[in-house]
Structure 1
Amino acid sequence: MSLRLLQHVGVDGTRSVIAATSAGAAFVTGVDSVCALAERAIADGTDLAGAVAAYGTGASVDIAAELAAGRLMSPIDHVDPAHVVMTGTGLTHLGSAEGRDKMHRAAADAEKQTDSMRMFLEGVERGKPGPGERGQQPEWFYKGDGSGLVAPGAALEMPDFAEDGGEEPELAGIYLIGADGTPFRLGLCLANEFSDHVTERHNYLWLAHSKLRQASLGPELLVGTPPEHVEGMSRIHRDGAVLWEKPFLSGEANMSHSIANLEAHHFKYDLFRRPGDIHVHFFGTATLSFAEGVTTREGDVFEIEAAPFTLPLRNTLTRAAPRLVSVKAL
């Protein structure tokens, strides 16, 4: 039975961890965060399932009801959000270059292969290296710190200067850096990586700007070996009706890079192996409503669901109030 971990906050503000399997869900006794649970597992030389067993479980809980009541948090966080690093990789999925190419060809010679297509094909060729080999490095971007991580069910807010707020349905790897600098993968989450595709389309060198946005994780952290094949559905609801929907695929069977290769090229940098830090790394997608001509607007609801996750990820699109930031000289 696959183990899923969730973080819960009660009406009185008390935090708890929930362990869920196909047999049901129950509160884990004596621990108030997935990070603390992972630290216990590392210290004991066991895994997360072993740490859950060491703490034990108590009262059963209906996780769907708790999600509906708004009592499920992001499945990972840190007492100091600055110690959560959000990053990601693009052009990692079979078919992902097509949507990106549509965006970038307007600024490129139609007879010339774009940088996006070249990078994608290099990943297809060398993105799944054998044991002991170093594969092709992927496209990589920085997304922000933990202050930009939005709880499941909460609003995704685009800045007042944003040109667009678009969904990106994908998987995210969750990691904790151990005391000796070893990255430990805690598991995978369903994710909406949420980007500004109009800004990116204007000039692909603005990709870095387009990614500095919030993101949301589904409420469940899937523990254990990552599934080879994940098939889900991405939807946009508007005014109570489905505006757009399309299936999406993830997992290594549908990727041009292995997860191990993406991890190796992220954690090869010393600054990403700082003990105690949490990393949320988005693995990319090949399915975007923007690539099919959809223009989102405030009030739209993004919905992403995929087995083996049992709960959907829903977020409403909002826009921040205008604010002009100025710098003062000292």
Structure 2
Amino acid sequence: MTLRLLQHRAADGVRSVIAARGDTAAFVPGVDSVRALAGKAIAMGTDLAGAIAACGAGAPVDIVEELAAGRLLAPVDHPDPAHLFMTGTGLTHLGSAEGRDKMHREAAAAEKQTDSMRIFLEGVAGGKPAEGAVGSQPEWFYKGNGHGLVGPGAPLTSPAFAKDGGEEPELAGIYLIGDDGTPFRLGVCLANEFSDHITERHNYLWLAHSKLRQAALGAELLVGPLPAEIEGKSRIHRNGAVVWEKPFLSGQENMSHSFANLEAHHFKYELFRQPGDIHVHFFGTATLSFSDGVATQLGDVFEIEAAPFALPLRNALAQAPAQAVTVKAL
């Protein structure tokens, strides 16, 4: 059965790691974070499953109950949030066959392709190179650090100056950099790569601004082989009713880039291979309520669910109060 890892915080603040397989789950003795468990696996020269086996069997736990009680955290974090990088790649998903056909027809008819269309088509042509080779370079963006990471049930809070707060349902890869600079992939999780789409649409050069927002991770870290195909649902709840719902597709079969190619282009930078750092890398989406003309409202609840993840990711939309910032000269 597929191994899933979760982070738990009890009412007294004590943290634990949970290992789940199928419908059963148990605490992992002796470790208080997925990062610590991964460090143990690296030191032992084994994988995460081997490290869990070495820790022995812990008490069983009901992860559905723990989620409802608000005791499940994001599946990864760092004691120093500045050492957790949130980054991502866009224009990586093929979307529906109809959407692909439409994009190709528009590309063929245009006298001059847009930069977005060019990078998408470059990914379609060269984003899945042979094993060991590096293919087309994807769009890449910086999202923030660990201060902007929220877990299941926590609000996604837009800054007061934001023009929009919209969901982006996708997968995120989780990595720990080893002592020798080797990136170790711990697994993938459900993610809401929350963004400001109105700001981005105004001018694509504002993409960087639109991405500097919080992001949410589902409670479960899926360990093992990367998924070839993920099919889930993305919803917006408002005042107790579903006001928008749409399926989303992810996994390598639904992408124009391989996971390996996206990883190669991220970790080629030495900056991103500093020992002890955690990386959360968002792999992109092709499904947005914004594209369907939906204007989100404060209090809306975003919900993302997809097998083999057992738990949904739910986060309400909130807004931070305005802040006056003064730069002082020394």
Using structure 2 for the length normalisation, give the TM-score.
0.96
SS at 1:67 equivalent: helix
| Shift in Å, 1:69 | 0.4
- 2:313 is aligned to 313
- 2:220 is aligned to 220
- 2:209 is aligned to 209
* Farther-moved stretch of structure 1 (230-239 vs 110-119): 110-119
RMSD of aligned residue pairs (Cα, Å): 1.7
| Shift in Å, 1:113 | 2.0
- 2:281 is aligned to 281
- 2:142 is aligned to 142
| Shift in Å, 1:23 | 4.7
Contact 2:192 2:215 in 1 (8 A): yes
Contact 2:134 2:261 in 1 (8 A): yes
The CA distance in 1 between the partners of 2:313 and 2:133, in whole Å, is 36
The CA distance in 1 between the partners of 2:22 and 2:240, in whole Å, is 31
Tell me the amino acid that sits aligned with residue 234 of structure 2: S
Is 2:76 the counterpart of 1:76?
Answer: yes
Is 2:96 the counterpart of 1:90?
Answer: no
- 1:189 is aligned to 189
Tell me the amino acid that sits aligned with residue 263 of structure 1: E
| Shift in Å, 1:111 | 5.3
Using structure 1 for the length normalisation, give the TM-score.
0.96
Name the CA shift for 1:110/1:158 in 2 (closer, same or farther; >3 Å): farther
The CA distance in 2 between the partners of 1:127 and 1:110, in whole Å, is 23
SS at 2:46 equivalent: coil
| Shift in Å, 1:166 | 0.2
| Shift in Å, 1:131 | 2.4
The CA distance in 2 between the partners of 1:260 and 1:132, in whole Å, is 9
The CA distance in 1 between the partners of 2:289 and 2:23, in whole Å, is 36
The CA distance in 1 between the partners of 2:261 and 2:284, in whole Å, is 14
| Shift in Å, 1:326 | 1.5
Contact 2:95 2:249 in 1 (8 A): no
| Shift in Å, 1:98 | 5.8
TM-superposition CA deviations, 1:169-219 (whole Å, max 9, x none): 000000000000000000000000000000000000000000000000000
**Counterparts of 1:45-124 in structure 2 under 5 Å?**
45-95=45-95, 112-124=112-124
> What percentage of residue pairs aligned between the two structures are identical?
75
SS at 1:35 equivalent: helix
Structure 1: runs of 5 or more not aligned:
none
Tell me the amino acid that sits aligned with residue 142 of structure 1: Y
- 2:301 is aligned to 301
TM-superposition CA deviations, 1:12-66 (whole Å, max 9, x none): 0000000000150000011100000000000000000000000012110000110
The CA distance in 2 between the partners of 1:23 and 1:245, in whole Å, is 27
The runs of 4+ residues in structure 1 deviating greater than 3 Å are: 96-99, 109-112
SS at 2:75 equivalent: coil
TM-superposition CA deviations, 1:92-114 (whole Å, max 9, x none): 00039969x99xx9xxx975421
| Shift in Å, 1:324 | 1.8
* Farther-moved stretch of structure 1 (18-27 vs 169-178): 18-27
The CA distance in 1 between the partners of 2:95 and 2:326, in whole Å, is 42
The CA distance in 1 between the partners of 2:208 and 2:118, in whole Å, is 19
- 1:179 is aligned to 179
Tell me the amino acid that sits aligned with residue 257 of structure 1: H
| Shift in Å, 1:134 | 1.6
How many aligned positions are there?
A: 324
SS at 1:49 equivalent: helix
The CA distance in 2 between the partners of 1:134 and 1:188, in whole Å, is 21
| Shift in Å, 1:132 | 3.1
Tell me the amino acid that sits aligned with residue 303 of structure 2: E
The CA distance in 2 between the partners of 1:246 and 1:72, in whole Å, is 26
- 1:257 is aligned to 257
The CA distance in 2 between the partners of 1:21 and 1:90, in whole Å, is 31
The CA distance in 1 between the partners of 2:132 and 2:6, in whole Å, is 35
